[in-house]
Structure formats: structure tokens, C-alpha cells
Amino acid sequence: MSEATEAGIDDDLAGLIAGLLRDVPDFPQPGIGFKDITPLLADGPAFDAVIHGLARSAGEGVDVVAGVEARGFLIAGALARQLGCGVLPVRKVGKLPPPTLRRSYDLEYGSAEIEIPAGVLTGRRVLLVDDVLATGGTLRAAAELLAEAGATVVGMAVIVELGFLSGRTALAGLPPLDALLTV
């Protein structure tokens, strides 16, 4: 595929995503503008196009797609099936049976903790996915947690990047991030 064709596909996909995003003001708390991807997930052809777009950025040799709770689970499952590899949930604390590894991080509106199963990722090549990149705290914590578990994070991908929050700066020194749409 030529660069011009690929760029055209990327532009078309970004437009499709933008058309299906729903802005929810003051959620989950006052002052936060939430980008809801539910209309995108509910549109079969659009969701398929997103998964194929993310698969193009996955590169080769991915063993596991790790998805961040909760919308990242949906993306990770579909993407893992497309790539023919395994899937792993990155969960909120207390949702996985022990043993687990845990990491705390800051959000744009508070703090949180995530965890992953211990002992299943050593030597595995992982693509880390989520729906939206905001301040980068969640993806950074997840990438560090996966590395602590013995995995090699080979890339990160999101559907939407909130460029005005400069989340990429929090990901400095980590594997590359691919975003299908930056707003």
C-alpha cells in the first residue's frame, strides 16, 4: 500500500471516529469533558474499521494484547482475535484473583490503582491498548506494570488522543503510541 493510500485510509478512519464520538460534559465529575466511544462500539462496520486500523499499527510478533479497564477490554479482545494472539485484562484493584501485581497512578481528576495477573507474561511481547489517551497516567502505569511482570511492551495504541492534555509527554521513554484520532 502506498503512503498516499495509507494516509487517505487514516484520514477516512479519523473522520469516521470523530463522527461517532459523543461529548459528555461534567462527567465523571464537574469540569471534565468525557469522550464517549459507545456510539462507535455500537456501530459494527465502524468498530471493525477501528480494529483493522489498530491492527495495522500493531507490528509483528505480538503475543498478547493488554486492554485497560473497561473499554480497553472490548478493544483488546477484538484486536487479539484479529491478530491471532492472546488477550490480558489490566483491571482495577480487587477484581482479579491473587497473585497479582499492582500499580498506583494519577488521573486528571484523582488517583487510581490497576493490577494484572502475576506469572503469565514473562517473555511475552505485549501491545497495550485503551480507548482514550488523556493525561497518560493510566497507560504509563500499565506499561510499567507489564514490564514489571516480565513482558516486553512493543507498542501502545488508542482510538482517541486528547492532544490538548499532552498525555504523550507522560509516556516519554516508553514504546511508541499510535492514536487513530487526535482531538
Secondary structure of residue 125 in the 3-state scheme: strand
C-alpha to C-alpha distance for 49 and 173, rounded to whole angstroms: 30
The span from the CA of 64 to the CA of 85, in Å, is: 6
- pLDDT-derived band of residue 24, with 50, 70 and 90 as boundaries? very high
Contact 13, 180 (CB under 8 A): yes
Q: Which residues have a catalytic role annotated?
A: 71, 108
Window from 25-39, 104-118, 167-181 with minimum mean pLDDT: 104-118
Packed helices 44-57 and 71-83: angle between N→C axes, nearest 10 degrees = 70
Is the pLDDT at 7 greater than 80? The verdict is no
* pLDDT at res. 48: 97
pTM, entire model: 0.92
Domains and CATH numbers, the chain: 3-182 (3.40.50.2020)
Average pLDDT estimate for 13-34: 94
Query: Is residue 120's pLDDT more than 80?
Result: yes
Cis amide prior to 28 (ω within 30 degrees): yes
Grid coordinates in use for 6?
A: 495509507
- pLDDT recorded at residue 9: 63
109: which residues sit within 8 A by CB, 6+ positions away?
28, 29, 31, 32
The model's pLDDT over 32-56, given as tens digits with 9 standing for 90+, comes to: 899 999 999 999 999 999 999 999 8
Span 55-82, pLDDT tens digits: 987 878 999 999 999 999 999 999 999 9
Measure the CA angle with vertex 172, ends 63 and 179; round to 5°: 60
For the residues of 37-103, what is the DSSP string, one character each?
-HHHHT-HHHHHHHHHHHHHHS-S---EEEEETTHHHHHHHHHHHHHT-EEEEEEETTSSPSSEEEE
- The confidence score (pLDDT) of residue 150 equals 97
